[in-house]
A and B are shown apart, each in its own frame.
Chain A
Amino acid sequence: MSATGAPAQQITGSNRFMLLILLVPGLLALMTTFLLPMIWLARASFSTSSMAAFGGGMTLEHYHAALTDPFYWKVAMNTLSLGVTVSFFAVILSYPIALFLTRSTSRWRGVLTALAVAPLLTSAVVRTYGWMVILGDRGVINGTLQALSLTTDPVRLSNNTFGATVALVEILMPYSILAMLAGFGRLNPQLEEAASMLGASKLRVFWRIILPLSLPGILTGALLVFVLAISAFVTPRLMGGGRVFVLGTEVFQEATVTLNWPLAAALSVVLLALFSSVIVIYQRALRRLEA
Chain B
Amino acid sequence: MSEHHVVVDNLVKTYPGAATPSVDHVSFALPKGEMLALLGPSGCGKTTILRMIAGLIEPTSGAIQLNGREISQTPVHKRNMGMVFQAYALFPHMTVAGNVAFGLEMRGIPHSERGPKVQRALDMVKLGHLGDRRVTQLSGGQQQRCAIARSLVIEPELLLLDEPLSNLDAKLRDEMRDEIREIQSRTGVTAIFVTHDQDEALSMADRLAVMSAGKIEQIGTPREIFDAPANEFVAGFIGAGNFLSGRVTAPGEAEIEGLGPLRFEAPARIGSQVNLMVRPHRFKLAAPGPNAFTGQVDSLVYRGQILTLGISVGGKRLTADLHTHAGHLPAKGETVTLAVAPGDVTFLSEAAA
Contact = CB atoms under 8 A, between A and B. Distances in A.
| Complex A–B touching at CB under 8 A | yes
Interface of A: 1-4, 186, 188, 190-191, 193-201, 204, 208-209, 212-213
Closest 6 CB pairs of A and B: A199-B106, A198-B103, A194-B89, A190-B89, A196-B76, A197-B83
Contact of A3 (B76, B89, B106, B143): B143
A3 B140 contact: yes
A190 B56 CA distance: 10
Contacts of B150: 198
B142 to A, nearest CB: 9
A200 B140 contact: no
**For chain B, which range describes its interface: under 10, 10 to 19, 20 to 34, or 35 or more residues?**
20 to 34
Interface in B58-96: 75-83, 85, 87-93
B106 A1 contact: no
Contact of A197 (B77, B90, B143): B77
A213 B139 contact: no
B136 A3 contact: yes
A217 to B, nearest CB: 13
B106 A204 contact: yes
A197 B54 contact: yes
A1 to B, nearest CB: 5
B154 interface: yes
Nearest to A188: B89
Contacts of A212: 93
Contacts, number: 77
Contacts of B88: 1
B155 to A, nearest CB: 12
B77 A1 contact: no
15 contacts: A2-B140, A190-B87, A193-B56, A193-B85, A194-B83, A194-B89, A196-B76, A197-B56, A197-B81, A197-B151, A199-B106, A200-B77, A200-B106, A201-B77, A213-B92
Given A197-B83, A198-B103, A200-B106, A1 B154 contact: no
A197 B92 contact: no
Interface string B96-120: 0000001100110000000000000
A196 B77 CA distance: 5
Nearest to A199: B106
Contacts of A2: 87, 140, 143, 167
Contacts of B102: 195, 198, 200, 208
Nearest to A198: B103
B56 A3 contact: no
B324 interface: no
